[in-house]
Amino acid sequence: MSDDASAARGPVEPPTPRHEGARTATVVPPSLDQLRAEAMEWGRKPRRRGTLYVTEHMVRAMRAYGWTIIINALGQPILYLLGLAVGLAALIQAPIDDRGQEVPYLVFVAPALLMTAAIAVASEEFTYPVMSGFKWRRYFYGFNASPIASPQIAGGVIGGAAARMGVTEVIYYLFIWIFFAALYPSQTNPATAWLMIPIGMLAGLSFGIPLMAYAASIEDDKGQFALVQRFIFMPMFLFSGTFYPLTNLPLWLQWIGWISPLWHASELGRAVTYGDLSSPLVWINVLYLLALIVGGYLVARRVFTNRLAK
Amino acid sequence: MPAPVIDARNLVKAYTSKGKPDFLAVDGLSFEVAPGESFGLLGPNGAGKSTTMKMIGAVSTRTRGDLTILGLDPDQYGPEIRSRLGVVPQQDNLDGELNARENLFIYGRYFGLPAKVCHEKADELLGFAQLEDKAKAKVDQLSGGMKRRLTIARGLINDPRILLLDEPTTGLDPQARHVLWDRLFRLKERGTTLVLTTHYMDEAEQLCDRLIVVDKGRIMAEGTPASLIRQHSTREVLEVRFGSDRNQEVAGLLHGIGDRVEVLPDRILIYADDGEAALERITRQGLEPLTSLVRRSSLEDVFLRLTGRTLIE
C-alpha cells in the first residue's frame, strides 16, 4: 500500500482535486452477475455459522473481566458451602423432610445453590452486555453491518453467557461433589447428581433469555437492572424453596416458587441428587424451563431484529 | 454506463410513532451508483443521509420503493450483500474491551474468513491505518482520529466491493482528515466503489465523482461537483464583512453588484464571475468593508442557493 507515488508526497498532503472526466479507475470492474455470484458465495458461511462467530466475540470480550469471572466461580461455592456446611448445617441438626424423604441440610441446599449461581451469572451476562451492545458501545450495530443477522447476534449473546455459566457450574459441581463424597456418600447419588450441570444451564437460560429480551427493549438506563436484581432476583432467591422446602411457606407465598425458574431447577437438582426421577413432576419442571427459554428467545429475536433494523 | 452496483428507485423510509404523523426520513430518493464510482450524499444534519446509508448497508429495511445492491434485494439477501460491503458508521462501534488488533481479527471472523487470513489482514490493515504501534492498545485508549482510522480499517477486512462511509472525517483534525482522504483515494484507485455522506464541502469536492444534494429526505440536485457549481453558482464569490450589526443595512446598498447577494449573520456573500471587480464597485460606492475575500464558488454556495441555508448551522 505504501510503494506508490503518493507516498513520496508525504501522508498529510491531500490528493489533487479531481473534477469530471478525471476518473482514475485503473481496474476493470467485474460484471454485475459476477458481483452477485460472489456475494452469494461469501454469504454462505456467515449464514450458517454467524451465531458461533458472535459467541466467539462475546467470550473473547469476557477476558477483559476474566479474573472476576474466575474468582466469582471459585469463591461463591467455597463461601456458601463452607458457610452452610460448617455454620448453618451445624445449627440445623435435624434432617430436612423433603416430601417424606429425610436428607441432611447441606444435601438439600447444595443443588439449589448451584442453580442460584447459574442464575446469578445470567443476571449479569444477559443485562449489561446487551445494554452495552445496543447503547453504550453499540457494538451490536457493528456486528449487524457484517453478514451477521440480528437473530444470530441474540444467539451469540446466549452462547457467550452459556459458556460462562458452564464454567461456573462445573467448578461449583466439583466443590459439591467433594463435600458430598466427604460427608454424605450414602445419601447422595453421584451417578445422576452430575446432571445438576446441564440443569443449571437450563436454570440460567430460562431466567436469562427472557431477561435479555427485556434488556434489549430498554432505550434508556434508569437503573432497571438494579431493580431486577432487588425485586426479581432476590425475592426469587428467598422464596423459591432454596433454603427450606417450598411447602414450609404459607400458600399465598408459594406461587412465587411455582413461577420461579429457580424453584423448578432446584427441584430437578434435588431429584438427580437424592430424589425420585420417575415422578411426572420432573417433566413439568423440565417443560416449564424449556418453555421460558423458547418463549424468551422468540421475543428476544423479534426485539433484536426490530431494534437493529431501525 | 455499466450496470449500477447500487440502484435505488423512489426509496422511502418512514418512522411511525404513536399519535404523530409518519416521519419520512427518506422521501422518494432515486439514484444509481456505477462500479468504481465514488458517490456522495451531501446535506445538513437530519437530511436523511444516514438513514439512506443504513438502507444501502442492508441493515435498515425500506418502507417503500425498490433497492438493489450488487444486483440483490437487501430484504432477502442482507447477509450476502453485507458480506461484500465495508461499512464505516457515523458513530464508531468498535468493541472497547478488545484491543485494536483483536477488533480487526474478530471482525474478519464475521465474514467467515479463516483465522490465519484474519491475522494477516489485521496486520496489513493496522499498517494501512498507521496503527502498528497501537496494535495491543485497548480501543478505549485510542484518540478519536485513531478510532476513526481503525473503524475504516475494519471496514476493509473483507476487501469490500463497496465501501460506505457515513461522515468519515467528522471530529477529526485537519491532518487526520488528509491522511484519511489519501487512504480513500488509494482504495478508489483499486476499483472500490465509494459511497460517502458528508456535510463538508471540501471533502465532497475532494472525493466524489458525482453527488446528490439531499435535504429533508429529498434530492435537491445531482451532478459532478464542478457541474453543480456551474449550474447553481457563479465562478467566484466575494465575501465582505462590515460588522454583524451593519451587514444587513449595507446589503441593501449592494443591489446590482454581482448576480446575487446573500446576507449571513457574520458576512455578506456577493456572487459574481469577477470578484475583484465587484469589490472595486463596492469601494467606489464609498463602502469600506472590515475584511474582504475573493474565492472560487464551492458546493457550500450551491447548497446555500438550493436550500437557503448553510450546511453547518
What does the DSSP 8-state code read for residue B265?
A: S
Share of chain A above pLDDT 70, in %: 90
Interface test with A, best of B23, B52, B60, B82 (most A CBs within 10 A): B82
Residue B236 makes CB contacts below 8 A (sequence gap 6+) with: B271, B272, B273, B274, B275, B294, B295, B296, B297
Q: Tell me, what's the ipTM?
A: 0.84
Nearest Cα residue in chain A from B129: A1
Contacts B93 to A, Cβ<8 Å: 137-142
Within chain B, which residue ranges are assigned CATH 3.40.50.300? 6-229
Output the average pLDDT for chain B. Answer: 90
Report the distance separating Cα B246 and Cα B237, nearest Å: 20
Report the distance separating Cα A289 and Cα A265, nearest Å: 8
Contacts A2 to B, Cβ<8 Å: 127
Nearest Cα residue in chain B from A19: B226
Contacts A138 to B, Cβ<8 Å: 91, 93
SS3 annotation, chain A? CCCCHHHHCCCCCCCCCCCCCCCCCCCCCCCHHHHHHHHHHHHHHHHHHHHHHHHHHHHHHHHHHHHHHHHHHHHHHHHHHHHHHHHHHHHCCCCEEECCEEECHHHHHHHHHHHHHHHHHHHHHCCHHHHHHHHHCCHHHHHHHCCCCHHHHHHHHHHHHHHHHHHHHHHHHHHHHHHHHHHCCCCCCHHHHCCHHHHHHHHHHHHHHHHHHHHHHCCCCCCHHHHHHHHHHHHHHHHCCCCCCHHHCCHHHHHHHHHCHHHHHHHHHHHHHCCCCCCHHHHHHHHHHHHHHHHHHHHHHHHHHHHHCC
Contacts B102 to A, Cβ<8 Å: 60
Task: Look up the CATH superfamily of B6-229.
Answer: P-loop containing nucleotide triphosphate hydrolases (3.40.50.300)
Cell of A266: 432446584
Question: Hey, is B129 helix, strand or coil?
Answer: coil
Domain B234-296 has what CATH class? alpha beta
Within chain B, which residue ranges are assigned CATH 3.30.70? 234-296
Report the distance separating Cα B255 and Cα B180, nearest Å: 43
List the beta bridge partners of residue B295.
B237
Angle (CA) B68-B69-B72 rounded to 5° is 65
**Residue B33, CA distances (Å) to A266, B69, B275 in order:** 60, 10, 36
Print pLDDT tens along chain B (313 aa): 688 999 999 999 999 887 778 899 999 999 999 999 999 998 888 889 999 999 999 999 999 999 999 999 999 999 999 999 999 998 889 998 899 999 999 999 999 999 999 999 999 999 988 899 999 999 989 988 889 889 989 999 999 999 999 988 877 788 878 888 888 888 888 889 999 998 787 888 889 999 999 989 999 999 999 899 999 999 999 999 988 788 888 888 888 888 888 888 888 999 999 999 999 998 998 888 899 999 998 888 888 888 877 655 5
Nearest Cα residue in chain A from B206: A17
Print pLDDT tens along chain A (310 aa): 444 433 333 344 344 444 444 444 455 668 899 999 999 999 999 999 999 999 999 999 888 888 888 888 888 888 888 887 677 777 777 788 888 888 998 899 999 999 999 999 999 999 999 999 999 989 999 999 999 999 999 999 999 999 999 999 999 999 999 989 988 888 899 899 999 999 999 999 999 999 999 999 999 888 889 898 888 888 888 889 888 899 888 999 899 999 999 999 999 999 999 988 888 999 999 999 999 999 999 999 999 999 998 8
Which amino acid does the sequence have at B291?
Answer: T
What pTM does this model have? 0.86
